[in-house]
């Protein structure tokens, strides 16, 4: 997706060989016009699938998932990283390790929002080692959902998450794949 790649090239900041900061349009401040284009691109890539629910994780997956939901008319469910007073009992849960934050979180989704009747598309902002996606896949499987695929805004192709998921037969559609962040330079995969 050229518009996304241009935005990454212009505004992305390489913090290390493995960390790309895109908080000016995706992770802190959100560019709604870009998010609309991202939602439309995911809709186009998964147009052959019947999607009843979009599953993501708080917080940076919510914007692209919501724009996709608006485009295709599907509800968006997001896994919470912290429990609240209103989210107790009757939950699907999974453990997710964050390499960025160096911590493990228990993510949870109310059993009221996913069922075996659902065809679920998982959406997330980044795919690196695949831990967040694995947690979301686990939750969808616990609910008995059919998983139609995974949509990723930015995949770090130099890390193994995408490779592992694809080897498991999971359809992964990434809008931009970063080949390398070495030498403070963003290099895209073709």
The pLDDT-based confidence of 147 (bands split at 50, 70, 90) is very high
Q: Is 9 among the annotated ligand-binding positions? A: no
CATH code of the domain covering residue 7: 3.40.50.2020
pTM: 0.95
Q: Which domain holds residue 106?
A: 2-188
Considering the chain, what percentage of its residues have pLDDT values greater than 90? Answer: 87
Give CA–CA dist 65/74, Å, rounded: 10
Mean pLDDT of 180-186: 96
Say yes or no to pLDDT of 105 above 90.
no
Total of domains in the chain: 1
Say yes or no to pLDDT of 54 above 70.
yes
Between 103 and 53, the more confident residue is: 53
Q: Is 131 among the annotated ligand-binding positions? A: yes
Q: Is 27 among the annotated ligand-binding positions? A: yes
Cβ atoms of 73 and 90 within 8 Å: the answer is no
Give CA–CA dist 135/122, Å, rounded: 11
Average pLDDT score over the chain: 94
Say yes or no to pLDDT of 88 above 80.
no
Q: Is 44 among the annotated ligand-binding positions? A: no
Rounded alpha-carbon distances, angstroms, from residue 66 to 7, 72, 122, 137, 150: 20, 10, 12, 19, 15
């Amino acid at each position: 997706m050229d518009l996304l790649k241009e935005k990454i090239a212009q505004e992305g900041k390489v913090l290390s060989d493995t960390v790309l900061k895109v908080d000016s349009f995706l992770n802190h401040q959100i560019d709604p016009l870009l998010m609309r284009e991202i939602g439309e691109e995911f809709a186009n890539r998964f147009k052959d699938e019947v999607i009843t629910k979009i599953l993501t994780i708080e917080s940076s997956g919510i914007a692209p998932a919501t724009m996709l939901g608006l485009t295709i008319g599907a509800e968006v469910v997001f896994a919470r990283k912290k429990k609240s007073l209103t989210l107790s009992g009757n939950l699907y849960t999974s453990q997710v390790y964050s390499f960025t934050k160096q911590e493990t979180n228990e993510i949870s989704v109310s059993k009221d929002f996913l069922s075996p009747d659902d065809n679920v598309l998982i959406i997330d902002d980044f795919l690196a080692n695949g831990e967040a996606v694995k947690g979301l896949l686990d939750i969808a499987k616990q609910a008995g959902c059919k998983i139609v695929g995974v949509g990723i805004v930015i995949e770090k192709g130099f890390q193994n998450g995408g490779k592992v998921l694809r080897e498991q037969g999971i359809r992964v559609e990434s809008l931009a794949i970063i080949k390398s962040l070495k030498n403070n330079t963003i290099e895209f995969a073709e």
